[in-house]
Amino acid sequence: MSRTPPPEGAARTEAPKDAPAGAPVASRRGAPASDPVVAPAATPAAGPAANAASGSAAIPAEKPAAGPAPPVDARALAAALALLALLAARAHAERGAPLVWAALLGAFAGLALHHARFGFASAWRRMTRERRGAGLRAQMLLIGLTCAASYPLMQWGAQIGLPARGHVLPIGAASAIGAFMFGAGMQLGGGCASGTLHALGGGAPRMAITLAFFVGGSVLATAHWDFWSALPRTRAGASLPQMMGALPALAVTLALLGAIALASAALERRRHGALEPPSRAGDPLRGPWTPGMGAAALALVGIGCFLALGRPWGVTSAFALWGAKALNAAGLPVQEWTYWSGWRRGALEASVFADATSVMNFGIVLGAMAAAALAGRWGGGARPDLRGALTAAAGGLLMGYGARLAYGCNIGAYLGGLASGSAHGWWWLIWGWAGSALGTRLRARLGMDPPACPPRA
């Protein structure tokens, strides 16, 4: 298998000879490939391209290498399944069947995220730097499939015993700033909210730093809630399904998503002359999966949240809760902060296993661990170097703080907002994309990425 050397001055990355197509690579400088990506396909003549490290990296998908696949890591798989069973049992003891479903949905999300290398941060970065839009189009597919079920459920679900509500929230200065911060942070941190969890479950040590500072940033933002809540914003949210009805709103949403997908394809063709060939799926259980398979699987997770929990999928509210519980245990009276008054105080006082979002997050980590074990690729990630550690900390802090201001992350505010038919989902996309563009530039300035490929002649 041919190897493309890294550009001058960039950190070298290598994939083991037995690495499956689309597997992450680790940096010789010590930073793992922690950012989940939708792996692009390579031409038959192209081998895996080396990428810069101390952040995130990926190799293009290619024809499966000759020889046997890595064996299943039976110990890691057994541990993941045992911990998942314990998680489901503990959650059931707290709130019954809905939280068992939360654990299982989280585990399936972790499996899908890992096997499809489905990333939000990497997809936006590739579109910005290289004008490669396969990942962005996969996101549009994910959102469209979720909306196709969520809009009818929100309007008619109660009539068939499946009540579901969306998150319809106001837009304003604080949410714009928060989404911008999150977009920049996910580039520096090497992954978005869901990406941080699944990369950690897959054995990427750098993402433990990202997650720790993600939690810290989340709880810090709750301490400043009074200030941010006083900034200008609309009085209430705006919901397309409520204004137009489920089916007309769905038609408008699908048209907008389709326009974004078509625009990305046009930009890619203009830059490269053609779209990247689609990646090839491997074993359904061991991976890798195609972007389309990942989008469909994650749509099932999003729809499952509406069915089992009656609301959209969310991630980052749990991080704020974990941080607040830690501070409360250390003696800080966080329950006196405005953010933790009212209905949130109940979550602060209850077990973390009674919180559906926390249970799903634990499930994502365990599902990704199981997926990596099935692929024979769990663990083994190198420790990050100083630059990798500092950028992980900065990215996590920005994402955590920004997510609280913006009503969530790429899952809760972007996917969940659009699946709710709320204008704040589009608002998050605009400002999150702007922040991501800045974060992508910062990555280049910090040497975290190799130079972008030049356009075709």
Q: Walk along the chain (457 residues) in steps of 10 and give the mean pLDDT of each run.
A: 36 36 36 39 33 38 56 96 98 97 98 94 96 97 98 97 96 98 96 94 93 98 97 95 97 98 98 93 93 97 98 97 96 94 90 97 98 90 88 97 97 97 98 98 91 63
* Interatomic CA distance for residues 16 and 212, integer angstroms: 29
| For residue 288, cis peptide bond before it (omega within 30 degrees of 0) | yes
pLDDT value, residue 69: 80
pLDDT one-digit tens code per residue, 345-388:
999 999 999 999 999 999 999 999 999 999 998 987 778 899 99
* Interatomic CA distance for residues 153 and 163, integer angstroms: 7
pLDDT value, residue 80: 97
pLDDT one-digit tens code per residue, 6-24:
333 333 333 333 333 333 3
